Amino acid sequence: MTLVHIRREDRLWWVGLDRPDKHNALDQAMVDELDAVLNEARREPSLLIVHSTTPGMFAAGADIAELRDRDADAALLAINAGLFERLEAHRWPTIALVDGPAFGGGCELALACDFRIASPDAVFAQPELSLGIIAGAGANWRLPQLAGLGTARRMLYAGARVGAQEALAAGLVDEVADSAEDLNERGRAMAATIAKRSWRALELTKLALRSRRPATTTFDLAAQALLFDGEDKHDRMTAFLERRNR
């Protein structure tokens, strides 16, 4: 593993996003590593804590350099959406610790976890529409489900950046730590509380709650495939990579 740092404390797995030079942008290689971790972790009872190894930066989203070159066919592969489905389907609870920006796919990654604990400097945003695409890896339905339609609309349509306290009030995060340094302890404490309970009952409760998920994934996939082939997306992503309009 080169882009994901794993540390195990008994049944608690710390899954650290570890691509500091690109603000943890999720590229195919990182997706593959995270998939490998999920495959391994599901073999025996485990709680996952998804965090960043870089203080002050959770994740800046899907890798725009790779996204720019993906076509409709690649969109239908559901690379990030599929990973987040598998993360959501981890057999036991998962917690995201968010310090700094969780943008685009970074926000969607946090949304796919069962819980989110934010540092006071956490910021959540879905900038996809400024790049000519939709937030196709779950935000279209996980965001309104957690934070309500109003917050989801402001984030998706208007690109609103939502800070830790606002996220807490909206239900987008479950707790705000006193400081970034306090974040790991808060995650560990939440995990310890959950780990005292029955693993089997936890697993079955997760399955029960999953039956409440809305089924808009198919629409998101088809819509993203349409947009991935567009010139608008290509031009906007090129502008980001060449640092225009920023």
Closer by beta carbon to ligand COA, 16 or else 104: 104
Judge whether 100 and 122 are in contact, CB under 8 Å: yes
Q: Tell me the C-alpha distance between 194 and 177, whole Å.
A: 18
d(CA 171, CA 50) in angstroms, rounded, equals 19
Cα 206 from Cα 92, distance rounded (Å)? 7
The answer to whether residue 17 forms part of the interface with ligand COA (CB under 6 A) is no
Nearer to ligand COA, 60 or 190 (CB): 60
- Whichever of 127 and 187 has its CB closer to ligand COA, that residue is 127
**Should residue 33 be labelled a site residue for ligand COA when binding is judged by CB under 6 A?**
no
Q: Binding residue for ligand COA (CB under 6 A) from 34, 87, 95, 131?
A: 131
Minimum CB–partner distance for residue 200 and ligand COA (Å): 38
Give the list of residues 6+ apart from residue 55 with CB closer than 8 angstroms, or none: 99, 100, 180
Q: Is 124 in the site for ligand COA (CB under 6 A)?
A: no
Q: How many residues bind ligand COA (CB under 6 A)?
A: 17
Which residues, 56 to 75, sit near ligand COA by CB under 6 A? 60-65, 67
Of the pair 93, 127, the CB lying nearest ligand COA is at 127
Query: Does 101 interact with ligand COA (rule: CB under 6 A)?
Result: yes
Cβ–Cβ < 8 Å for 58, 100: yes
CA dihedral 41, 44, 49, 51 (to 10 degrees): -20
Return the active site residues: 108, 128
Number of H helices, E strands in the chain: 11, 9
Residue 103, interface with ligand COA (CB under 6 A)? yes
List 13, 17, 23, 75, residue binding ligand COA (CB under 6 A): 23
Residues 63 and 217 sit within 8 Å (Cβ to Cβ): no
Q: Does 49 bind ligand COA (CB under 6 A)?
A: no
Which amino acid is present at 50? V
Footprint of ligand COA (CB under 6 A): 22-23, 25, 60-65, 67, 101, 103-105, 127-128, 131
